[in-house]
Amino acid sequence: MSKIKFTKMHGCGNDYIYVDVMRYPIADPVAAAIAWSDRHKGIGSDGLVLIDRSPIPEADYSMRIFNADGSEAMMCGNASRCIGKYLYERGLTDKTEIRLLTRSGIKTLCLHLKDNQVEGVTVDMLEPVFENESQFVPARDIKKGVFVSMGNPHYVIFTDDVDQVGKTGRVLELHPAFPQHCNIEFARINDDGTIRTRVWERGSGITQACGTGACATAVAAAIKGLAGRHSTIIMDGGTLDIEWCEADHSASGRFFQKNHVYMTGPAEFVFDGEIESSKL
């Protein structure tokens, strides 16, 4: 009976099971995500992330991500940071700038090192999209939020009651206005200018954090004039720094592109383990 080695990691509490499928192929990632994500009968996580070689020369590696319900996501910001740390600290690459192929395009990961350990990662999340008929069809009864696609769809609602996430998030995820279902953010602007955000992730429910959700929240706040182009997003599991570039510029030897969203935050190992491949 074969065993699959895995690593559990989290970015601001958004935890996933990571498998290097270059060494441990998974025939049915949908079934694996459902079985292994179960917090009572499995490993416990928000989903399953597969790390692989890139099939195209423009990228170094690729990722696929499956939510806890088995649905496949386009992208996950927290998971992409964790992949950067995994690749570098497990010796798969010595690059500090990694091109990662996702279902929503190639994301560039810039690793921030301290004592040869990855202390944080900045991800170029590319440009936000505000009109995508395959993801959002405006409806008369859903006009209180801002739709922002960061590869995957987000609907951001600014409210003092961010704790309605459990009640309202579940309903809005499945609203007919969202053909592919939707991630829902509830955000409040704090007195110090930071943004408190709680997240309902499609396919997973309430999560401790969401990288693309933090990006969508920052962009939505800037659009509504509630914040500038640089925001601190405080989620249940931690804090992310988001910059929506207004113009091309360089800083610390790196080039930042106009209209791209850059997300910076931590990534952490939790534990390594192995599971029987039959447990699907």
DSSP output for 131-156: --TTT---BTTB-SSEEEESSSEEEE
Q: pLDDT for 67-86, tens place per residue? A: 999 999 999 999 999 999 99
Q: pLDDT for 236-272, tens place per residue? A: 999 999 999 999 888 777 888 999 999 999 999 999 9
From residue 231, alpha-carbon distances to 1, 77, 98, 180, 245 in Å are 49, 16, 24, 28, 11
* pTM, to two decimals: 0.93
Cβ proximity of 208 and 233 under 8 Å = no
Separation CA 257–CA 243 (nearest Å)? 11
CB proximity list for 214: less than 8 A, separation 6 or greater: 77, 197, 233, 235, 240, 242, 263
Separation CA 99–CA 105 (nearest Å)? 10
Q: Measuring CA to CA, which residue among 240, 241, 262, 244 is closest to residue 14? A: 240
Q: Which of 76, 82, 182, 215 is catalytic?
A: 76
Is 110 a residue of the active site? no
pLDDT for 168: 96
Cβ proximity of 23 and 63 under 8 Å = no
Which residue, chain included where needed, has tokens 């933090």? 214
pLDDT for 138: 92
Which domains, and CATH codes, for the chain?
3-126+266-276 (3.10.310.10), 146-245 (3.10.310.10)
For the chain, give the percent of residues with pLDDT over 90: 92
Q: pLDDT for 108-121, tens place per residue? A: 999 999 999 999 99
Considering the chain, what is the average pLDDT of its residues?
Answer: 95
Q: Which of 12, 82, 182, 210 is catalytic?
A: 210
> Tokens for 184?
């829902």
Q: pLDDT for 9-61, tens place per residue? A: 999 999 999 999 999 999 999 999 999 999 999 999 999 999 999 999 999 99
